[in-house]
């Protein structure tokens, strides 16, 4: 049922003014220096404690700059570490999730964003018997078992998929790996259609045999997915342009109960896949999220059914005319917390109709059916200068408050945080090369921050004196 203008006006009054979130993320805005001056939030209280953990110290080993008191270790490195079966760790690490493993270990499921034919890569995901979807494709994901004493083991979770990007963790303890590629059989050497989501179980290797795409989630250039544990709705992002991509909602069929391995048995047309139609407090349609220029902007959201989710003749995002749905450029990572979904739009330029920006984080509240702008990074005019942030991608909510974001921008690449009082700060800098960070996520106990340098493919574990972010 569509939201009425009266309903939305009342709800926006509740969600837009105070920027107050409950739970782990707290009250979140953005770094004042990251906004245009007229948009920066005014702070009337006295001096606050300095956010973060201090300046970054260059790494003598030339890999990862961290604040004083922090350290890192390399868990996997493409072409160096090996799987249990003897092959080298695959390259191009991307989205990652953590799970409590046996005997105090941590299990990490790690995507490998490899597109096109296997012959294009020296270290594709090995074609492990029984775990292959399309033997022509190079991507997939591996499972890493990290021990407290530094030992690791790694094995294949799924192989023969393409361009496995952000993905998402399920409430029942599995991983949804997303293909950011919609090649059909016969394109780029592929033998099967791509553009799907697959479920990977980090605990039960047998459950991953005979991989089956969750076709009910649609066939498009998937980026990330989260599941609402209350309703079972899935939210999915699309990283595409020409036209810009969409945020999707999948509503399960009546009587469907989520659980381990149940998604693979859904019919291709099970449930309903929908795209958003946003409008402002005045009831005016919003064509693109780049129209928002101020922190606290709230849009109401209606959902329109996708005509052909399998994109048999027309790409899903192209099945809607201008004026039908609300788009955004570079819809990237998502994270479920505080009763809703945090959604990243990495940047907007000439392909978007609104104001250019270098990063947005939105919060979708499913109960109120609203999107609220929580983080807005202005255009970074000097991306080679250390200290400025642009192009957020993967995201997690920190157990110590606020958000942690992996940078995929121009120039210097960082992991950075946004405090509950609205200030950004650096956590790490890539001193090795200009590759993006990916897969940022904390261990289940909050003691370790894991992240990847995508190229050549390095998984890192960061430890140190973590503490709750100061509040203003």
Nearest in space to 377 (alpha carbons), one of 393, 364, 365: 393
For the domain covering 5-38+50-463, report its CATH number: 2.120.10.30
What is the mean pLDDT of the segment spanning 319-345?
Answer: 96
Rounded Cα–Cα distance for residues 216 and 272 (Å): 8
Q: Could you give the CA distance from residue 144 to residue 127 in angstroms, rounded to a whole number?
A: 17
From residue 91, how far is each of 94, 155, 196, 412 by CA, in Å? 9, 14, 21, 21
Q: Where does the pLDDT of residue 38 fall: very low under 50, low under 70, confident under 90, or very high at 90 and above?
A: very low
Mean pLDDT of the chain, nearest integer: 90
pLDDT given for residue 130 in this prediction: 98
State both tokens at 350: 């000439």
* Contact predicate 221/238, CB 8 Å: yes
pLDDT at res. 18: 27
Instruction: Give yes or no for a contact between 418 and 34, defined as CB atoms under 8 angstroms apart.
Output: no
Three-class SS state of 466: coil
* 45: pLDDT strictly greater than 50: no
Count CB atoms within 10 A of the CB of residue 33.
14
**pLDDT at res. 422:** 58
Query: 445 by DSSP, 3-state: which?
Result: coil
Closest by CA to 437, choosing from 463, 420, 412, 418, is: 412
| C-beta separation of 462 from 448 below 8 A | yes
Residue with tokens 């907007």: 348
pLDDT value at 48 more than 90: no
C-alpha closest to that of 454 among 133, 163, 172, 250: 163
Q: Which helix (H) or strand (E) holds 336?
A: strand 331-337
Residue 447 in this model has a pLDDT that exceeds 90: yes
Distances 446 to 60, 277, 440, 461, 465 between C-alpha atoms, Å: 27, 37, 12, 12, 11
Whether residue 300 is predicted with pLDDT greater than 70 in this model: the reply is yes
Q: Say if residue 232's pLDDT is above 60.
A: yes
For 101-143, the pLDDT digits (tens) are: 999 999 999 999 999 999 999 999 999 999 999 999 999 999 9
φ, ψ of residue 387 to 5 degrees: the values are 120, -25
Averaged pLDDT for residues 421-448: 93
Least confident of 27-36, 199-208, 251-260, 425-434: 27-36
Partner residues linked to 264 by β-bridges: none
| pLDDT at residue 201 greater than cutoff 90 | yes
R_g of the chain computed on alpha carbons: 21
Integer Cα distance of 153 and 353 in angstroms: 47
How do residues 154-180 score in pLDDT, each as one tens digit?
999 999 999 999 999 999 999 999 999
What ranges do the domains of the chain cover? 5-38+50-463
pLDDT confidence of residue 34: 36
Residue 16 has a pLDDT of 33
Cβ atoms within 10 Å, residue 321: 7
Give the pLDDT band of residue 29 (cuts 50, 70, 90): very low
> pLDDT tens digits for 251-290?
999 999 999 999 999 999 999 999 999 999 999 999 999 9
What is the percent of the chain where pLDDT is above 90? Answer: 84
Q: Is 472 exposed, middle or buried (0-12, 13-18, 19+ CB in 10 A)?
A: middle
Percent of the residues in the chain that have a pLDDT greater than 70, as a whole number:
88
Q: Which of 90, 108, 94, 69 is nearest to 442 (CA)?
A: 108
pLDDT at residue 427 greater than cutoff 70: yes
Helix and strand numbers, DSSP H then E, in the chain:
1, 27
Least confident of 8-22, 94-108, 447-461: 8-22
């Amino acid at each position: 049922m569509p939201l009425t203008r009266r309903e939305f006006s009342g709800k926006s009054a509740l969600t837009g003014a105070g920027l107050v979130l409950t739970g782990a993320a707290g009250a979140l805005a953005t770094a004042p220096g990251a906004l245009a001056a007229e948009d920066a939030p005014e702070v009337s209280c006295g001096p606050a404690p300095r956010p973060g953990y201090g300046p970054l110290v260059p790494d003598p080993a030339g890999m990862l700059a961290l604040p004083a008191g922090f350290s890192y270790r390399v868990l996997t490195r493409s072409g160096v570490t090996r799987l249990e079966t003897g092959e080298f760790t695959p390259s191009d690490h991307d989205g990652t999730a953590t799970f409590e493993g046996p005997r105090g270990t941590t299990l990490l499921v790690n995507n490998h964003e490899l597109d096109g034919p296997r012959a294009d890569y020296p270290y594709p995901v090995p074609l492990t018997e029984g775990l292959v979807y399309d033997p022509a494709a190079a991507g997939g994901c591996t499972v890493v078992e990290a021990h407290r004493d530094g030992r690791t083991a790694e094995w294949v979770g799924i192989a023969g998929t393409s361009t496995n990007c952000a993905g998402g963790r399920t409430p029942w303890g599995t991983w949804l790996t997303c293909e950011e590629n919609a090649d059909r059989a016969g394109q780029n050497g592929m033998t099967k259609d791509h553009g799907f989501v697959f479920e990977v179980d980090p605990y039960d290797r047998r459950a991953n045999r005979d991989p089956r795409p969750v076709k009910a989630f649609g066939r498009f250039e998937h980026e990330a997915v989260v599941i609402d544990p209350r309703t079972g709705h899935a939210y999915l992002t699309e990283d595409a342009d020409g036209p810009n991509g969409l945020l999707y909602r999948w509503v399960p069929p009546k009587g469907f109960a989520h659980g381990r391995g149940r998604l693979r048995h859904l019919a291709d047309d099970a449930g309903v896949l929908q795209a958003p139609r946003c409008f402002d407090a005045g009831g005016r349609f919003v064509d693109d999220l780049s129209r928002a220029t101020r922190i606290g902007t709230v849009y109401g959201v209606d959902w329109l059914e996708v005509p052909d989710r399998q994109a048999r003749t027309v790409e899903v995002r192209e099945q809607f005319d201008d004026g039908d749905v609300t788009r955004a450029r570079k819809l990237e990572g998502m994270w479920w917390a505080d009763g809703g979904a945090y959604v990243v739009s990495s940047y907007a330029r000439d392909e978007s109709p609104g104001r250019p920006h270098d990063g947005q984080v939105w919060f979708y509240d499913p109960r109120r059916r609203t999107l609220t702008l929580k983080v807005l990074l202005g255009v970074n005019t000097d991306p080679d200068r250390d200290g400025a942030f642009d192009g957020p991608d993967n995201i997690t909510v920190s157990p110590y408050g606020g958000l942690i974001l992996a940078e995929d921008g121009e120039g210097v690449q960082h992991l950075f945080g946004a405090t509950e009082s609205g200030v950004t700060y650096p956590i790490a800098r890539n001193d090795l090369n200009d590759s993006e960070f990916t897969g940022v996520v904390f261990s289940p106990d909050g003691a370790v921050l894991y992240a990847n340098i995508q190229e050549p493919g390095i998984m890192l574990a960061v430890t140190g004196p973590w503490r709750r972010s100061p509040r203003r």
